[in-house]
């Protein structure tokens, strides 16, 4: 289990990791020197000839020094689901991911009732406000469910899928905690939703959708710039034909690949997508427009068994075999691993440079959500959210900031 080290706001000492290989967005730096003061990076370079005596040094020789992971699509962990709507559940899930190196997190909703979604947002808000939480940065809520098309609901509760109604989603946005907002592009009211979410400064996304190219184009012109978990619960030419008939039309897949302004994400757990699809997604979208996400459930770090996905009173049951989540019908149902596993797997099965894989788990999601001035890479002035990884990319130490114990 990784060691967690939270930066203390009152600590004015200088610290540095020395001798490791620092992972930058575009290259590796051997014999690196990564220094911080009060939780902010002050120098990232090769080891200087002279180091001030007051700097407290930590030897990272033979290891990697990486920015902390940024997870924009995550449902729970450690036996807790964010939709449980309780501070203890939020804390448990966040801490579980923190141990795996996720230093910035966006708790993600499901297709719950309005009441359960509001309860979840309130619990996240309370957790953020707790001065002694000791957790990583919770950057905001990903309003994922409930605006899905039922035929693409995946493991989400089909009965909870619905069209966006302003009187409902205004209540979510008025909390001030929504940072990412998802809606299927073929639903009635989706364009008004996209426009509203864009005005709130959200990353606006399309997911669990059977939309056509034409519907995607209209959505894109109204603020939608991202598609959730590529190839999963999304339209294809064949599914659009079943829905709209002939002539065959383009789908979400073709639209995303054809537009440089569209980003997307992949679940690199080894079960959702094959190595060639992971390689292909990177090849087509490049690391600047492709994110790694965990999309993990409460089954992370739990034994194999049956688990509720979503709020306990509105859940669907999924099975975890310890490797991946499965729905009652045998289909895939969320992952059961964190971003550290996704980074390791991506590196193992593709020919993608390590720094680009790490970027997809850190800087790219930070950029897409507009928080890259604060985190996502080892750059002077950013939060000192830093991981020490062994040569097998296993997380050994997590240096992080939080609302409870840092700047």
Residue 297: CA atoms inside 13 Å, Cβ hemisphere, count? 32
How far is Cα 125 from Cα 270, in angstroms, rounded to an integer? 33
Residues 6+ apart with CB under 8 A from 353: none
Check if the beta carbon of residue 386 is closer than 8 Å to that of residue 65.
yes
Q: Which two tokens stand for residue 394?
A: 């296993």
CB atoms within 10 A of CB 183: 30
How far is Cα 360 from Cα 275, in angstroms, rounded to an integer? 16
How far is Cα 76 from Cα 206, in angstroms, rounded to an integer? 21
Which DSSP symbol is given to 83? G
Check if the beta carbon of residue 272 is closer than 8 Å to that of residue 333.
no
pLDDT tens readout for residues 54-75: 999 999 999 999 999 999 999 9
Per-residue pLDDT of the chain (407 residues; tens, 9 = 90+): 789 999 988 899 999 999 999 999 999 999 999 999 999 999 999 999 999 999 999 999 999 999 999 999 999 999 999 999 999 999 999 999 999 999 999 999 999 999 999 999 999 999 999 878 889 999 999 999 899 999 998 888 889 999 999 999 999 999 999 999 999 999 999 999 999 999 999 999 999 999 999 999 999 999 999 999 999 999 999 999 999 999 999 999 999 999 999 999 999 999 999 999 999 999 999 999 999 999 999 999 999 999 999 998 888 899 999 999 998 888 899 999 999 999 999 999 999 999 999 999 999 999 999 999 999 999 999 999 999 999 999 999 999 998 643 33
Partner residues linked to 276 by β-bridges: none
3-state class percentages of the chain: helix first, strand second, coil last, to nearest 5: 30, 30, 45
How far is Cα 317 from Cα 328, in angstroms, rounded to an integer? 7
- Please give the CATH superfamily to which domain 69-368 belongs: Metal-dependent hydrolases (3.20.20.140)
How far is Cα 299 from Cα 251, in angstroms, rounded to an integer? 32
pLDDT tens readout for residues 118-165: 999 999 999 999 878 889 999 999 999 899 999 998 888 889 999 999
Structural domain spans, the chain: 3-67+377-400, 69-368
Q: Can you give 97-148 as a three-state secondary structure string?
A: HHHCCEEEEEEECCCCCHHHHHHHHHHHHHHHHCCCCCCCEECCEEECCCCC
φ and ψ of 321, to 5 deg: -95, 10
Say what the pTM is. 0.97
Which residue has 């809606």 as its token pair?
Answer: 183
CB atoms within 10 A of CB 199: 10
How far is Cα 305 from Cα 5, in angstroms, rounded to an integer? 32
For the chain, what percent of residues have pLDDT higher than 70?
Answer: 99
CA distances, 260 to each of 223, 229, 255 (Å): 14, 17, 10
How far is Cα 386 from Cα 24, in angstroms, rounded to an integer? 12
In the chain, what is the greatest distance between 2 CA atoms, to the nearest angstrom?
A: 73
Q: Which two tokens stand for residue 179?
A: 């940072």
- pLDDT score recorded for residue 274: 98
How far is Cα 36 from Cα 22, in angstroms, rounded to an integer? 14
Q: Can you give 214-246 as a three-state secondary structure string?
A: HHHHHHHHCCCCEECCCCCCECCHHHHHHHHCC
Q: For the domain bounded by 3-67+377-400, which CATH number is listed?
A: 2.30.40.10
How far is Cα 269 from Cα 296, in angstroms, rounded to an integer? 10
φ and ψ of 105, to 5 deg: -140, 145
How far is Cα 162 from Cα 274, in angstroms, rounded to an integer? 32
Residue in 197, 189, 187 with CA at minimum distance from that of residue 150? 187
How far is Cα 235 from Cα 274, in angstroms, rounded to an integer? 19
């Amino acid at each position: 289990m990784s060691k967690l080290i939270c930066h203390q706001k009152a600590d004015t000492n200088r610290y540095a990791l020395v001798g490791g290989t620092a992972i930058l967005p575009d290259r590796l730096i051997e014999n690196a020197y990564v220094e911080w003061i009060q939780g902010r990076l002050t120098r990232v370079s090769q080891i200087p000839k002279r180091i001030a005596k007051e700097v407290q040094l930590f030897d990272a020789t033979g290891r990697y020094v990486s920015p902390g992971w940024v997870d924009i699509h995550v449902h729970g962990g450690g036996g807790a689901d964010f939709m449980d709507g309780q501070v203890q559940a939020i804390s448990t899930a966040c801490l579980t991911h923190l141990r795996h190196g996720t230093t910035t997190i966006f708790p993600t909703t499901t297709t719950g009732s309005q009441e359960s979604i509001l309860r979840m947002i309130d619990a996240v808000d309370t957790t953020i406000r707790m001065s002694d939480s000791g957790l990583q940065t919770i950057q905001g809520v990903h309003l994922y469910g409930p605006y899905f098309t039922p035929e693409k609901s995946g493991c989400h509760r089909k009965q909870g899928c619905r069209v966006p109604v302003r009187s409902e989603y205004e209540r979510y946005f008025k909390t001030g905690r929504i940072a990412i907002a998802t809606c299927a592009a073929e639903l009635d009211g989706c364009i008004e939703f996209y426009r509203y979410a864009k005005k709130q400064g959200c990353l606006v996304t399309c997911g669990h959708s059977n939309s056509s190219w034409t519907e995607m184009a209209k959505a894109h012109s109204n603020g939608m710039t991202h598609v959730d978990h590529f190839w999963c619960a999304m339209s294809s030419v064949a599914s659009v034909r079943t829905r709209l008939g002939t002539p065959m039309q383009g789908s979400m897949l073709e639209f995303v690949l054809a537009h440089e302004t569209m980003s997307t994400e992949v679940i690199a757990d080894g079960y959702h997508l094959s190595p060639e699809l992971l390689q292909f997604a990177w090849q087509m979208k490049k690391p600047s427009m492709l994110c790694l996400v965990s999309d993990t459930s409460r089954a992370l770090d739990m034994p194999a068994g049956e688990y509720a996905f979503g709020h306990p009173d509105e859940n669907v049951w999924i099975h975890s075999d310890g490797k991946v989540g499965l729905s009652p019908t045998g289909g895939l149902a969320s992952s059961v691993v964190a971003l550290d596993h996704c980074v390791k797997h991506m590196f193992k099965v593709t020919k993608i440079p390590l720094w680009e894989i790490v970027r997809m788990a850190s800087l790219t999601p930070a950029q897409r959500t507009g928080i890259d001035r604060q985190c996502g890479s080892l750059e002077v002035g950013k939060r000192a959210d830093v991981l020490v990884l062994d040569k097998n990319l296993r997380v050994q130490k997590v240096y992080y900031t939080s609302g409870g114990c840092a700047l």
